[in-house]
């Protein structure tokens, strides 16, 4: 084991990617390592994640606390230009000037004397996801407003209220775009005398046109939801915040959460047109971070899939990541639920994939509609659960049950699979993933045919600097 400048002792290959803060680069033309860029692949890949996990010799308290950094790869005329920039949030700028961590986050209190906990607010890390709008890119984070960036240069423009996030309402990291209308749905949980689930519907420009506030029981953690055509579905796990420890600044947000399996998982169904609640139901306890997709079936039921964990051990595992050494096993598996939307009652639960996985994604043209293929990040065959990160990518054919696996190779770690639709064929496209190769300590962008994931990538592009593993990204087609 070798100690690095951030104090991480490398025990697994992936730890090399986070041992030093990511270095900005570009814009510059990316070299071909193998294959050719598909001629019809025209647009931009964006990827976000916590890329700086330490300052002044002090590590952040949780993977969710790192500063957000955006990778952009622009594909034009058979060539690719890459650039990487940190999101210049107010907290990032202040800590950059000070040369040390100053703020608290999801999994840490502000460093220094205890009175700092009352002087410093949480830092909006802008590190979780992105959505491309016609005139800007939004860097998203759970607990605050999005940051707007230039689509080409990634210059940070600042916080954006989308003409509707009044009084600092948060805008979460998993918006859903209806491919039929272009409308964008999202939510944010706000805390006050009443805890509210704020649900938003925006036009294709991102401007919020309608919103509604739905009271919640207690203070839950809601990370994602599913758009299912006529409905929005929220599955609220039996996890609640201990309010007193939060108010007294005794614990971080992460450490204040209590798993209460006896409560069960709440099912909240919301009408996508009115944004009003339709029903509330209750089912077995579990935890989920992410959904794949959903739709309203012809029989009136709603079908959706998501990655399910038995409990909240996944949070401890993610807390260990900045140390470069994980030990907590947390297995997520892909499930399908069928529910009755008018009552919120679960009709059927089916295990679709028992392989450890997460980050499910679909063709963006299939969001909210019946779909066939779900793409996933999965654990390598040789990997130890709890000690390794998800590394390979796979696709599940929900119609046949067949499963294709893209094995990236030993000590290579792929990111969330991003689907880029073919401009002329609705049944085809490409899967893009950012790969960290710990054998050479380098990063690449790999491109696969969506229907031949188990074949060699059609193209591999080199990146000039290491881009640490991140969370979520998006594909923005070139509409010119």
pLDDT digits (tens, 9 = 90+) for 411-455: 999 999 999 999 999 889 999 999 999 999 999 999 999 999 999
Q: Does the residue 399 lie in any domain?
A: yes
Q: Which regions of the chain are under pLDDT 70?
A: 1-11, 113, 115-119, 247, 479-480
Q: What is the CATH number of the domain that holds 406?
A: 2.130.10.10
CB contact at 8 A, 380 and 356? no
pLDDT at 292: 97
Count of domains observed in the chain: 1
pLDDT at 1: 33
Q: Does the residue 265 lie in any domain?
A: yes
pLDDT at 191: 87
Q: Does the residue 3 lie in any domain?
A: no
> Sheet harboring 147-149: ordered strands across?
129-133, 136-140, 147-149, 156-159
pLDDT at 116: 67
Q: Does the residue 466 lie in any domain?
A: yes
pLDDT at 349: 97
- The helix/strand/coil state of 364 is helix
**Rounded CA gap, 79 and 31, in Å?**
9
Q: Does the residue 309 lie in any domain?
A: yes
Angstrom CA distances, 351 to 96, 313, 334, stand at 46, 20, 6
Q: Does the residue 125 lie in any domain?
A: yes
First-to-last C-alpha distance (Å) of the chain:
50
pLDDT at 41: 97
Q: Does the residue 7 lie in any domain?
A: no
pLDDT at 42: 97
Domain that holds residue 410: 15-477
Q: What does the block give as tokens for 176?
A: 């859903």
pLDDT at 4: 46
**Rounded CA gap, 17 and 337, in Å?**
36
Residues in the chain: 480
Q: Kindly state the helix (H) or strand (E) to which residue 133 belongs, with its residue range.
A: strand 129-133
Q: Does the residue 259 lie in any domain?
A: yes
- Give the number of other CB atoms < 10 A from CB of residue 149: 26
């Amino acid at each position: 084991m070798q100690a690095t400048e951030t104090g991480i002792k490398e025990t697994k290959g992936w730890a090399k990617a986070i041992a030093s803060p990511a270095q900005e680069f570009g814009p510059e033309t990316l070299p071909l390592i193998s294959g050719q860029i598909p001629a019809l692949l025209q647009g931009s890949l964006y990827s976000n994640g916590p890329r700086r996990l330490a300052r002044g010799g002090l590590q952040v308290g949780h993977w969710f606390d790192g500063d957000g950094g955006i990778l952009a790869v622009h594909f034009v005329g058979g060539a690719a230009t890459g650039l990487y920039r940190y999101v210049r949030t107010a907290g990032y700028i202040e800590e950059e000037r000070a040369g040390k961590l100053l703020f608290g986050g999801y999994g840490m209190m502000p460093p220094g004397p205890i009175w700092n906990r009352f002087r410093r607010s949480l830092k909006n890390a802008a590190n979780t996801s992105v959505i491309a709008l016609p005139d800007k890119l939004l860097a998203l984070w759970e607990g605050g407003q999005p940051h707007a960036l230039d689509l080409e240069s990634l210059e940070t423009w600042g916080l954006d209220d989308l003409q509707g996030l009044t009084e600092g309402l948060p805008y979460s990291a998993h918006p859903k775009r209806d491919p039929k209308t272009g409308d964008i749905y999202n939510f944010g949980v706000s805390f006050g005398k009443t805890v509210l689930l704020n649900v938003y519907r925006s036009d294709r420009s991102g401007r919020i046109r309608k919103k509604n506030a739905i009271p919640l029981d207690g203070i839950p953690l809601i990370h994602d939801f599913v758009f299912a055509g006529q409905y929005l579905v929220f599955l609220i796990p039996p996890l609640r915040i201990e309010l007193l420890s939060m108010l007294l600044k005794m614990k971080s947000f992460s450490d204040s959460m209590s798993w209460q399996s006896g409560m069960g998982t709440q099912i909240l169904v919301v009408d996508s047109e009115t944004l009003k609640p339709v029903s509330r139901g209750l089912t077995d306890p579990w935890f989920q971070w992410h959904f794949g997709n959903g739709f309203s079936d012809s029989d009136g039921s709603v079908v959706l899939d998501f990655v399910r964990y038995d409990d909240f051990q996944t949070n401890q595992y993610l807390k260990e990541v900045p140390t470069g050494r994980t030990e907590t096993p947390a297995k997520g598996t892909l499930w399908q639920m069928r529910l009755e939307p008018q009552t919120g009652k679960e009709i059927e639960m089916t295990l679709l994939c028992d392989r450890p996985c997460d980050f499910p994604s679909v063709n963006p043209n299939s969001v909210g509609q019946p779909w066939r293929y779900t793409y996933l990040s999965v654990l390598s065959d040789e990997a130890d659960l709890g000690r390794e990160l998800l590394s390979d990518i796979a696709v599940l054919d929900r119609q046949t049950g067949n499963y294709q696996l893209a094995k990236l190779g030993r000590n290579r770690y792929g990111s969330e699979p991003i689907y880029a639709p073919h401009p002329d064929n609705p049944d085809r496209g490409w899967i893009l993933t950012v790969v960290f190769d710990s054998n050479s300590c380098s990063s690449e962008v790999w491109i696969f045919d969506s229907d031949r994931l188990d074949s060699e990538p059609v193209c591999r592009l080199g990146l000039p600097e290491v881009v640490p593993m991140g969370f979520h990204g998006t594909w923005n087609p070139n509409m010119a």
